[in-house]
Structure 1
Amino acid sequence: MSLVFRAPISIRFAHCDPAGIVFYPRYFELINGVVEDWCAQGLGVSFHEMHMVQGIGLPTVHIETDFVKTSVMGDKLIAELRVIKLGRASATLEIRMLGQEQDLRLKAQLVLVMAHVKERKAIALPVALREQMQKYLTD
C-alpha cells in the first residue's frame, strides 16, 4: 500500500483577489510549497539541502490543473500528494486540495525532473531519493 503525503494549507489574505477568492496563480505557489514540504518531511531532504548543498533540484516541467471549487480567505485545506509515475529522471505527481468537508477544490498533475542546478540539465534520480519516492507511488 502506498503512502499519501498530507499537508495543511491556510488560505490567507495574500492568496486572494479583491473578490476574496484564491487568485489562480497563487495555487501554483501553494502547489510548490506542498512539493517542498513533501521533499523535506516525506522524502527526508529539504530544498535547501538539494539546491544549496547537493547542487540538484526538482523543477516542474509540466503541470495540468483543474480548479474545481473556489476557496476563500480563512479556508483550511488539506493537500494530498501521490506519485503516479517514476521515470529515470522524473516523477509525475498528483496533488489534490480538499476543503474541511473533503470537497475537492483543486486537482493537479505535475511532472518534476531531477536536474543539476548549475548545468541545468536532467540527471537520474538519486537511488536514495527514488527509494523514498516509491513509497508514495500509487498501486
Structure 2
Amino acid sequence: MAFTVRQKVLFRHCDPAGIVFFPRYFEMINDIAEAWFSESLNAPWQEMHRNNGVPTAQIEVAFKAPSRHGDMLEITLTPQKIGATSVSLEFVAAGADGVRFIARSTLVYINAHGRPERWPDELRERITREIGES
C-alpha cells in the first residue's frame, strides 16, 4: 500500500538560487519513512530506537526536475520487498507539473549493537500486509 505525505518546499530546503538543495530531499525521504513506521505500521521510531533501529543501508535517487520555494510536493512511499532483516522502499515525489525525484532505499532492522536482526514477527506481518504479500 502506498503512503503519501504532502510537503511544502520551505525556505530552509532551498539554496541561494531558490531550488531545493539535493541533500534536503534525503531529509524528506527519511521524514516520510519515519511517518510511515509510526502511522501505518504503529511502530514509532522514538520507541523502536530505544533498543533497535532501522538505518538506511542503501539509497539511490534519480532527480527528474527541480523544486522551488513554495512548491507543494506529494511524496509517496511504497514498500517493495521485505527480507529477513531489511525492507526495500520506493519514494516518488511529484509537484503540480510532474515527478521531481524517484528514490529507492533499503532499511535494515538492527539491534542495540548495530548488527542486523530479524524483524520482530508482529512488525514483519504489518510490513508484509503493506506490501500486499500473503
* Same fold at TM > 0.5: yes
For the pair 1:128 / 2:122, whether they are aligned, the reply is yes
2:106 to 106, 111, 116: 111
Q: Structure 1 length normalisation: TM-score?
A: 0.91
Cα offsets for 1:4-37 (capped at 9, x unmatched): 1111111100000000000001110110001000
Q: How far 1:138 sits from its partner (Å)?
A: 5.9
Name the counterpart of 1:97: 93
Q: How far 1:133 sits from its partner (Å)?
A: 1.0
Q: Structure 2 length normalisation: TM-score?
A: 0.95
Q: Letter of the 1:31 partner, please give it.
A: I
Contact 1:59 1:112 (8 Å CA) reproduced: yes
SS in 2 for 1:119: coil
SS in 2 for 1:82: strand
Q: Name the CA distance, whole Å, in 2 between partners of 1:133 and 1:62.
A: 19
- Structure 1 runs not aligned, ≥5 long: none
Q: Name the CA distance, whole Å, in 1 between partners of 2:46 and 2:21.
A: 28
Query: How many residues are matched?
Result: 133
SS in 2 for 1:44: coil
Q: Letter of the 1:110 partner, please give it.
A: S
Give runs of aligned pairs for residues 1-139 of structure 1, distance below 5 A. Answer: 3-52=1-50, 55-101=51-97, 103-116=98-111, 118-137=112-131
What fraction of aligned residue pairs are identical, expressed as a percent?
Answer: 37
Contact 1:83 1:138 (8 Å CA) reproduced: no
- Structure 2 runs not aligned, ≥5 long: none
Q: Name the CA distance, whole Å, in 1 between partners of 2:113 and 2:56.
A: 16
